[in-house]
Structure 1
């Protein structure tokens, strides 16, 4: 094996391992500063609430939120069209859900201060089913409200997407009830699979493994992840987004130019086969799966599904549970057609859409992902 191919195979394996597991040593302080919260010194309620909203989960941690504060008393939310996933999320369904997670955290923060977010979705018209454009996703006003704050607010800074191996202990019944009860008022139906149905659990694991393999073996989709890999403290601090890896081995390889992120590994390369095996081990130990379906799949439904999902994840966090979205089988590119059809046949009524499917269990403690902070999301005055 020539030197370049060796580096691509071995280095690619390490990249994928770290990406799949979220395995990173301590991140640069500047990359996670946003998780400290705004404190009480921020006088502008909009900015105070937005500093919580930027901690929302987002596909590939792209953070494609653009905020216009130029109109007093108003928040105009746009999508950064340069931060999309055209290969794995060709119709931007997951991007729209990620705007819903942002809006929900904004509302939770506003309620903590005696207000609520009055949300007008797509005030200049709804995007079509395939392409996003420069029109705003939402016009939001923070209006006084006398309802009690939502207790889910307390989990915002503790919520993290946990890609590590979970202990094979089933989630407690009261935790599952809390997750299900957290989703209203959004019009989404939730479900769980656990040890009481080992046949169903096995099917979930099989579909998830198949979809993961497809994404690894499809060059353009795995390269979409490679393009947002941030290796080492310099890259992580510079970008504060994407998929971060800070392991000493990869940092050393990158420092001397031995890390090739320009090519996708082949299906039989160790970079691929080792990740398939590793992920199958995690699935085998996963004690439960969570899913969420909707009757429609228009842009409003996608945004509101994102609001429902982050509420479910916050409720899970409150009960010590971890979640990892299994986005691969829900993605609408041709190679995923078989897993997509199978998971929809199993979980959704005819014509309905599975908006979220996730591993669920008790995981080890993990740290936060990098965040760009509010100022990076503000449109120029």
Structure 2
């Protein structure tokens, strides 16, 4: 997806003049934060029912394109049913729902961890009615053991910018139980090259690019109206949008200077990443995909705890015709004996990433 670089856009166009044109710089800047879209972060844990408390943390989980594809229902006095909302599918870049199912795994693991923090165990049955039914049915019982990684939930982010070029230090060893780490050498370089080439292939495929562009949320009003997708907020982005320099039409035009700069910024970030992480499975069942989501969430939390930033780069793993050569290439390197490469990410040091918008919990609950 277009991981649009704010800094490149600002540097290219020149922010001060743009903002001056909007009038009232200080007032304008002070009112651009989408507080309503960020409120679910502060609401986490503030519910009477322990199931709602667990769900309020779970919805902060990482997920593809920030689609937040989950729906939940309270059942009985101790149960939760979790569905994947098909209205949030990504039919071009995730035609089989693999990536979105991984996102559901992230959600389920964070729900489990949040319940365990309060002493509840979570009995989980995956796909109890097949793929046409809920993804999982959960039952909360006494006996959960708090997970040390839960301490990093509120600081966890999916990084979106370039990394500090310094090599990753020994603190990364804490991540080895969650993924294969490639912190230097030929394999790391080959993975970076494939990820770079796959990124270029995605933005060069009109249908794939449009799927992302359609999910842009430009400015506070759009972000608060639809707090999912790819948010482009803040006074600079909104100032560019107000004077017509940041539009969906421009983002679809690869010859547009701003779009070209953003594509190049992401390409440079991939090639400059100090480390690469890979998660694979021997088979590719829905249960496998859920388990990978659990592992990715734990990897992300472990990276946060180690002072590292993690950025998913999923293009080479996508399953549409224009991506086939890159899909084959990464499997030849990362799964030469068979299996499925499920997740690929960049790892390194970086400045903290801001919170990303979320739908309020009540909007994700089934009646």
TM score, norm. by length of structure 1: 0.85
Of residues 268, 287, 290 in structure 2, which corresponds to 1:300? 287
1:168 — aligned with what? 165
2:181 — aligned with what? 192
Of residues 132, 136, 139 in structure 1, which corresponds to 2:137? 139
Change (3 A) 1:20 1:213: farther
CA contact (8 A) 1:97 1:303 kept: yes
Matches within 5 A, 1:75-114: 75-114=80-119
Q: Which string of whole-angstrom CA distances, capped at 9 and with x for unpartnered residues, describes residues 88-131 of structure 1?
A: 11111001000000000011011111112111000102x3xxxx
Report the CA distance between 1:35 and its aligned residue.
1.2
Report the CA distance between 1:142 and its aligned residue.
1.0
CA contact (8 A) 1:20 1:163 kept: no
Q: 1:284 and 1:331 mapped to 2: Cα distance? A: 19
Matches within 5 A, 1:147-226: 148-173=145-170, 175-181=171-177, 183=178, 190-195=179-184, 197=185, 199-226=186-213
Of residues 28, 32, 36 in structure 1, which corresponds to 2:38? 32
Report the CA distance between 1:264 and its aligned residue.
6.2
2:346 — aligned with what? 359
Change (3 A) 1:300 1:192: same
**Is 1:339 the counterpart of 2:296 in the alignment?**
no
1:186 — aligned with what? none
Matches within 5 A, 1:4-19: 16-18=4-6
Change (3 A) 1:106 1:211: same
CA contact (8 A) 2:202 2:208 kept: yes
List runs of 5+ in structure 1 lacking aligned partners.
1-12, 128-132, 184-189
Q: Which string of whole-angstrom CA distances, capped at 9 and with x for unpartnered residues, describes residues 214-244 of structure 1?
A: 1111111111111111111111111111111
Of residues 292, 317, 320 in structure 2, which corresponds to 1:330? 317
Q: 1:231 and 1:265 mapped to 2: Cα distance? A: 14
Change (3 A) 1:243 1:276: closer
2:129 — aligned with what? 124
Report the CA distance between 1:194 and its aligned residue.
1.6
Report the CA distance between 1:202 and its aligned residue.
2.2
Moved over 3 A (4+): 15-21, 247-250, 252-260, 262-273
State how many pairs are aligned: 346
Q: 2:348 and 2:248 mapped to 1: Cα distance? A: 32
**Is 1:378 the counterpart of 2:365 in the alignment?**
yes
2:25 — aligned with what? none
Q: RMSD between aligned alpha carbons? A: 2.3
Q: 1:33 and 1:272 mapped to 2: Cα distance? A: 31
Q: 1:315 and 1:224 mapped to 2: Cα distance? A: 31
1:64 — aligned with what? 69
Identify the range of structure 1 (60-69 vs 263-272) with the bigger mean alpha-carbon deviation.
263-272
Report the CA distance between 1:37 and its aligned residue.
4.2
Q: Look up the SS of the partner of 2:47 in the other structure.
A: coil
CA contact (8 A) 1:161 1:324 kept: yes
Q: 2:253 and 2:150 mapped to 1: Cα distance? A: 44
Report the CA distance between 1:60 and its aligned residue.
0.3
Change (3 A) 1:57 1:345: same
